[in-house]
Amino acid sequence: MRAWLTLPNLFTLARVVLTPFILLAILNHRPVTALALFAAAAATDGIDGYLARRLRAATPAGAYLDPIADKLLLSGVYLVLAVTGTLPWWLVAVIFGRDLLILSSSGVALLVTQLRAFPPSVWGKASTALQILTAVAFLARNAAETPLLATLSTALIWPTAALTVWSGVHYAWRGVRLVRMH
């Protein structure tokens, strides 16, 4: 049991624990709290990766838990921002659609091949980074309604959607190549 309980994994678990508090803060119209908690959760994402590399403390559990923590946080925030009318539902559908495509494709690959590793692509990482930036922009806009934040958050919608779709296409292309090789 102790092998998975590393300092980097504790930071990852902190992100999971913070997620419902962020969602509740958004739903309860506490935008400054939501933004502060989201910033703390986003920081844990960088910290856990840095510590895993620096301390050579990467674990298989961490490799699985980290993307799950990311998806819980981002999916939850995007869903709740749409529920509150802050974000358009179609953007949430694009993000969830891409994630479902990746998840179902990975499941098929697990069933029909010997593939067991599905490392993130550069486009997937870029898409996640832009989704985080977009969430921060909308959370910041809710916390301090200024024309600049309104313009910035709105301007990020289409690039986020486009990069999300592109990363999904890239994952699909890469997945087909991997399955053909195996």
Q: What is the pLDDT of residue 132?
A: 92
User: pLDDT for 82-99, tens place per residue?
Assistant: 999 999 999 999 999 998
Calculate mean pLDDT across residues 40-52.
90
Say whether pLDDT at 127 is over 60. yes
Sign for the pseudo-dihedral over CA of 63, 40, 20, 80: negative
Q: What percent of the chain has pLDDT over 70?
A: 97
Residues 6 or more apart whose Cβ sits within 8 Å of residue 71: 99
Calculate mean pLDDT across residues 145-170.
95
C-alpha 70/C-alpha 74 separation (Å) is 6
Q: Residue 55's domain spans which residues?
A: 2-181
For the chain, helix, strand, coil in percent to 5 are 85, 0, 15
Calculate mean pLDDT across residues 35-42.
95
Give the chain's mean pLDDT: 90
Q: Please report, for the domain that includes residue 146, its CATH number.
A: 1.20.120.1760
C-alpha 143/C-alpha 56 separation (Å) is 38
Domain count, the chain: 1
Q: What is the pLDDT of residue 94?
A: 97
Q: Which residues of 66-90 are buried (b: 16+ CB within 10 A; e: fewer)?
A: beebbbbbbbebbbbbbeeebbeee
Nearest in space to 78 (alpha carbons), one of 95, 103, 97 = 95
